[in-house]
């Protein structure tokens, strides 16, 4: 209970210290405390520390929440475990909501990091088609256009750049477009 109070107050440093002590004990709700500890490290951008707690929670939990899978995948992505992140992001990329768009955008970058440019291009296209987050939509559309041009799909690139200029006339990449 005390751990949740610190977590909900966004005092992640205190939450990690408290939970770390509690999970050493033989207590109820150990799975949930592992998840809270993983979330706290995640919020502190300590992704390598978060990973084992997400693995523990997801291995013990009967159902896998999309938030837990997303945090696991994102922590893998941020620690350079791109192949594993791809596997987990693929579970979320079809969700028609903000988390799905975020997962698809990160999936595209994972594909780039693993030299799978055509898959990255398609993932950027999918993220650009979503209306969850306008900044992600803008970046994804521009990256889709750039990769389309690089991979020899000039017509797709021109169409995407025209769409970009229509949707984001004062966007970050307007001059480049």
Residuewise pLDDT in 10s, the chain (177 residues): 555 655 666 788 888 888 888 888 877 788 888 898 999 999 999 999 999 999 988 888 777 789 999 999 999 999 999 999 999 999 997 777 889 999 999 999 999 999 999 999 999 999 999 988 999 999 999 999 999 999 999 999 999 999 999 999 999 999 999
Closest to 97 (Cα-Cα) out of 70, 121, 72: 70
Q: Could you say which DSSP state residue 63 is in?
A: S
Secondary structure class of 22 (helix, strand, coil): helix
Contacts of residue 26, defined as CB under 8 A and 6 or more positions apart, other chains included, come to none
Q: With DSSP H G I counted as helix, E B as strand and the rest as coil, what are the percentages for the chain, rounded to 5?
A: 70, 0, 30
pLDDT score for 128 = 96
Task: Give the model's pLDDT for residue 23.
Answer: 86
CA distance 124 to 163: 14
Stated length of the chain:
177
Is there a contact between 144 and 177 (Cβ–Cβ < 8 Å)?
no
């Amino acid at each position: 209970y005390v751990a949740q109070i610190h977590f909900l107050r966004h005092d992640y440093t205190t939450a990690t210290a408290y939970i770390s002590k509690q999970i050493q004990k033989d207590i109820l709700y150990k799975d949930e405390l592992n998840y809270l500890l993983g979330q706290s490290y995640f919020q502190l951008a300590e992704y390598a520390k978060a990973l084992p707690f997400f693995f523990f929670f997801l291995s013990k939990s009967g159902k896998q929440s999309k938030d837990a899978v997303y945090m696991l995948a994102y922590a893998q992505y941020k620690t350079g475990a791109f192949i594993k992140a791809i596997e987990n992001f693929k579970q979320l990329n079809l969700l028609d909501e903000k988390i799905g768009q975020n997962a698809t955008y990160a999936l595209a970058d994972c594909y780039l990091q693993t030299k799978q440019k055509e898959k990255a291009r398609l993932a950027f296209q999918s993220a650009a088609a979503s209306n969850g987050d306008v900044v992600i939509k803008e970046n994804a559309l521009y990256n889709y256009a750039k990769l389309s041009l690089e991979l020899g799909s000039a017509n797709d690139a021109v169409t995407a750049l025209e769409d970009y200029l229509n949707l984001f006339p004062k966007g970050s990449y307007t001059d480049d477009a």
